[in-house]
Amino acid sequence: MSGANITPASSGALIDGTPKTANGDQIPTEGAAATAPPPTKDINTYLRRSVHDLLSLKGRTIVITGGARGLGLAFAFAVAEVGGDVAIIDALDTPHEHFYTLEKDYGIKVKLYNIVADFGRIDGLVTAAGICPDEPFLQRAPESVAKCFAVNTLGTYYSAQLAAAQMVKQEPTDFNRKGGSIVFIASIAAHVASKGQTTSDYCSSKGAVVSLAKALGVELAGTGIRVNSISPGYMLTDMTLDLCNRMPWLADIMNNEPPMRRMGDRADLKTPIVYLLSDASAYHTSDDLLITGGIHAGRLM
């Protein structure tokens, strides 16, 4: 009905008691809507698919950028625990020691760098690669800003483009009928400034990632590809632990600023990432999940 020229009733728009547009097209009424054909999809599907089945990634290949350590490595374990194969892309020459236990512990395929050649397909992508330079805005050099956006924003953009191009040309399977799922790792810094840190380029680069997820979720919906982002709050990783050891005052902020009065653990992100990659989120796209301990809604210090 968008753009229809509806003639007022006083101009004779009611013909045989039925509202009409100026072109004579019938305007749907409440009664007409009630007689519309029922949806063709079986409304009882929810009775046959268990939560366990919906969250399974068995048979699917999930690509994780920045997956050799930190949050990316935690995501790799989460995928493996629900049966998914893991393909990791990372700039590290030597991954974290835990990386080597994935294949042995979970009986799934794990590869570093090689993807389609080793797995044959891509069913999901997680972009966890990123850098967070800390330097005052007025002192920031153009080269530093460009590098931050190259890794955090352009790296995310082109990783998604390559993965989506592979997803759209794949044949449907029993475990993935069409498309796939792309999950960008953004940050609470995309929503609020980081107290105690001067990370203007990081904040803006992650804000771009959140916007990109919303735009691509709409653009790619017709292909069956869903795109979402996760914005973690302060998370306890090897990197943040080292940072807090060097700057104890920053540890105080990260532990006491969130309403839940603690930093997040990588385990707090395992279920959300599986949810977004799996059929459990089949009707969920163009969204940003904030896993922040409440800091996005209000700070306690």
Query: Cα–Cα distance between 229 and 224 in angstroms, integer?
Result: 17
202 an active-site residue? yes
Q: Name all domains of the chain by residue range, CATH numbers in brackets.
A: 51-237+265-291 (3.40.50.720)
Which H or E element spans position 166? helix 155-168
What proportion of the chain, given as a percentage, has pLDDT over 90? 56
How sure is the predictor about 195, in pLDDT bands with cuts at 50, 70 and 90? confident
Please say if the pLDDT value at position 177 is more than 60. yes
Which residue out of 56, 106, 181, 202 is catalytically annotated? Answer: 202
Q: Determine the length of the chain.
A: 301
The arithmetic mean of pLDDT across residues 109-116, rounded, is 57
Name, in order, each residue with C-beta under 8 angstroms of 206's C-beta and a sequence gap of 6 or more. 130, 152, 186, 187, 189, 190, 231
Helix 248-256 × helix 238-246 angle, to 10°: 120
Max avg pLDDT among 111-120, 146-155, 281-290: 281-290
Q: Return the pLDDT at 16.
A: 47
Which residue out of 206, 234, 275, 278 is catalytically annotated? Answer: 206
Q: Return the pLDDT at 105.
A: 65
159 an active-site residue? no
Query: Cα–Cα distance between 226 and 75 in angstroms, integer?
Result: 18
Rg (C-alpha) for the chain, rounded Å, is 24
**Range with the poorest average pLDDT among 18-27, 41-50, 135-144, 182-191:** 18-27
Q: 215: how many CB neighbours lie within 10 A of its CB? A: 11
Q: Does the reported pTM lie above 0.85? A: no
206 an active-site residue? yes
The predicted-structure confidence for 25-44, as pLDDT tens digits, reads as follows 554 444 444 455 565 667 77
Burial class (CB in 10 A: 0-12, 13-18, 19+), 83: middle
The predicted-structure confidence for 228-245, as pLDDT tens digits, reads as follows 999 999 999 888 888 888
Which residue out of 159, 187, 205, 231 is catalytically annotated? Answer: 187
The residues pairing with 226 across neighbouring beta strands, listed in sequence order, are 181
The arithmetic mean of pLDDT across residues 18-22, rounded, is 50
Q: Return the pLDDT at 120.
A: 83
Per the model's pLDDT, the better-predicted residue between 43 and 10 turns out to be 43
Please say if the pLDDT value at position 266 is more than 70. yes
The predicted-structure confidence for 116-140, as pLDDT tens digits, reads as follows 777 889 999 999 999 899 899 999 9
The predicted-structure confidence for 213-228, as pLDDT tens digits, reads as follows 999 999 999 999 999 9
